[in-house]
Structures are given as structure tokens and as C-alpha cells.
Chains A and B, each alone.
Chain A
Amino acid sequence: MQHTAKHTTLRSALCRGLCIALLAGASFAEAETARDFLGRFEAEARSQAAGFAASASRGANFFKVTHGNDWTCASCHSDNPAGTGKHARTGKPIEPLAPAANPDRFARADKVEKWFKRNCGDVLGRACTPAEKADVVAWLMIVKN
């Protein structure tokens, strides 16, 4: 079959467009790091309190204390989140939370959002503020085995 010059140009344009769309879609869903999330939460926190800077030591404290209920983050994720945690209700093992110990953590925005929403509800009885999330992520980033 003979390709006219017009067909070839159209097809390669479509291919290029599809490639760009796929790459854009892929990078939108993937390829995030803990640092990306830290930056995002810090920016959100600054919109509420100018000059906010995340603090890992504040994050460490936040992670280990109770917040009006009987659970802490550490109740399930352990005081050392680079190790395996254990579900406080069912006893089921929980994969490490620190990104240095587990590359699956803080890699996808939908998952980060889902688990913050769910577990802040369990521990705090409310949503975590961007500042709290920033502090926690800042600490988790430096936790190693």
C-alpha cells in the first residue's frame, strides 16, 4: 500500500501526540517522592500561616503522642516506622512507612491522600492539617533502619 506524504505526517503526528499524552498521564499518576509531598504540604501550610517550615522533631513527637483518643500513629506504624508495624486492632503486619525502608510509600498522590484521610480519622478524629502532614513527612524522610 502506498502512503501519501499526508498520511505519513498525520500518523506520525498522532503517534507523537499519543506518546506525549501517555507520558504526561504516567507522570501525573506516578513518579512522586516524599520530597514532593513535603513541598506540597509546606506550601499549603504557608497559605494558612506565612513562614511555616516543616520540623522533623515536631513530626516525630506528633507521630508518637495521642491526640484525644487512645491511638497514636505509632500504635500501628511503630515508634520506628522504618521497621514493620502491626495493626493495633487485628495484629496484621504493616509494611514499613519510612520511604527509606519502603519505596512504595509516598510515591502516589491518591494513596497518600487516602491513608492520611483514613488514619488521621482513626487517630485524631479529624483530618490532619497540612502543617501536621508536612512535619510527619519531614520526619519520616529521615527515619532509617
Chain B
Amino acid sequence: MNEAVDDPDAPDHIQRIKVWDLPTRVFHWLLVASVAGAWLTRTSERWHDVHMMFGHTVGGLILFRIVWGFAGSYYARFESFDCTPQRVLSYLAGLLRGRPRRSVGHSPAGAAMALLFLALGLFIAGSGIAVLREWGGETLAGLHALVAKGMLVLIGLHVLAVVLSAAVLRIDLVRPMFTGRKTGFHRERIGRWRTGVGISLLVAVLGYWVADRTGVLGEDGKTRRHETSVERR
């Protein structure tokens, strides 16, 4: 197996190729941090503002990802998501037989899972913001918590799939989510990392977190216009 990286003279050799652009990877790990942070602060009144900060972040990240699903590199775009019910089922069947169909980007199951995450995450963030603004009341608050538990189950399945993929199929899905590279044919690669957008996303989110925690932003995330008696750390 040829290990040369991006060797244009060997188009049919298996190589380490660019697959996941930087914005997609940055999005993924910021989402992991934000969902974890939101979950851990979910019942604390003392940390409720941190919970809201992470919730706003999840909402913003998902909105970005939806835009990126149209503007991003190939494997980040929704058009590359091959996840009709038939495809997902046939992929899972192949998986159970020990012969899963190879995908460079998302597998059908992976793509379906990603879309589910986006939908659930958007609902959870949206319902949280609605409850914050007193638009929904008790019922919506209950739904917010319930769907969040559903998201937790989905995350468990996701982690299980990644672990089993490594243990049983010997496919490492974690490293590509950091490096962006997978093994594939030269012609399957994406052209650019889209580093500018990736760095901008990271800076934007980290900047928001710093501004929120240092009190530059007011209670609902808008620029502070007046002193309040609310405790600041």
C-alpha cells in the first residue's frame, strides 16, 4: 500500500487524502465541548448562565453547520450525504455481515446520525431560548429536557459506533476528525482545507465565551447597556 501523501502521479494508489475540512472539524469539537458543558450545568442555578452560554453556542454552531452544508467542501455538504432509509438499512446489513460498504466521507448511517444531531440540537437550543424568553412555559421546558435526554442516547450510540468501528472494523474514525485525512484515492480528496473559515469559527466561538464570562455581554447575550445588581464572577 502506497503511503505517499497526495501524490498526483499515483491517482489509483491508496493514499492519505484530505477529507474533512477545517470548519467541519472545528465545528465538531466545539459542539462536543458545548454539549458537554451544557449537560453538566443543566441543573445548577449557580451555573445557569454558563448553561445558557453553551446553549447559545450549540444553536449558533448548528446554524453555521447548516450553511456549511451548502457552502463547504464536498464531504461536508449535504448533497454528499447518502442516507435514504434504503441506503442506511443496506449499509447496516453489510455492517452486520462484516462487510460494510466503504465511504470516504460519512457512511449512510453516519450521515443519518449527523442530520439527526443537527435537528435535535437545533430543537434543544431553540426550545431553551424560547423558555428563557418565557415563550413556551412548562411544557416546552419539559420537552427541552426530554429531547436533551434523547440527544444523550444518540451520543451514546455515536460513541459506541466509533468504538466498535475501531475495535471490530479496524477503522479509526477519531484521528481523521483531528487531522482531516483519511485513506483513499487521490481523486477522492477535497481540494482545500478552508483554513480561513475554520480559524474564524474558532475565534468567534472562543471570543463569545470570553466576552460572556467576563461580563462584557449582558444577561441575554447582548452588549451590556446598564449596570445590574446581578453577581458577576
Contact = CB atoms under 8 A, between A and B. Distances in A.
Nearest to B47: A89
Interface residues of A, number: 12
A121 interface: yes
Interface in A111-134: 118-119, 121-122
B43 A89 contact: no
The secondary-structure label for the interface of chain B is loop
Contacts of A122: 44-46
A77 to B, nearest CB: 11
B48 A89 contact: yes
Interface residues on B, range: 10 to 19
B52 interface: yes
A122 B231 CA distance: 15
B219 A90 contact: yes
A88 B44 contact: no
A12 B219 CA distance: 58
A119 B219 CA distance: 21
A119 B45 contact: yes
B96 interface: no
A87 interface: yes
A91 B219 contact: yes
Nearest to A117: B43
A88 B43 contact: no
A38 B132 CA distance: 31
A71 interface: yes
B46 A71 contact: yes
A92 B230 CA distance: 10
A88 B231 CA distance: 7
A89 B231 CA distance: 6
A76 interface: yes
A118 B132 CA distance: 18
Interface in A34-86: 71, 76
B44 A90 contact: no
Contacts of B230: 88-91
A38 to B, nearest CB: 24
Nearest to A104: B138
Contacts of B52: 90
Interface in B175-200: none
Contacts of B231: 88-89
A88 B49 CA distance: 10
B2 interface: no
Q: Which of A89, A92, A121, A122 has the most CB of B within 10 A?
A: A89
Contacts of A91: 219, 228, 230
Contacts of B44: 118, 121-122
Interface string B32-56: 0000000000011111110010000
A88 B132 CA distance: 15
A87 B231 CA distance: 10
Interface string B10-45: 000000000000000000000000000000000111
What 6 A-B pairs are tightest by C-beta distance, nearest first?
A: A122-B45, A91-B230, A91-B219, A89-B49, A89-B48, A118-B43
Interface of A: 71, 76, 87-92, 118-119, 121-122
20 contacts: A76-B45, A87-B45, A88-B45, A88-B231, A89-B46, A89-B48, A89-B230, A89-B231, A90-B48, A90-B49, A91-B219, A91-B228, A92-B132, A92-B219, A118-B43, A118-B44, A119-B45, A121-B44, A122-B44, A122-B45
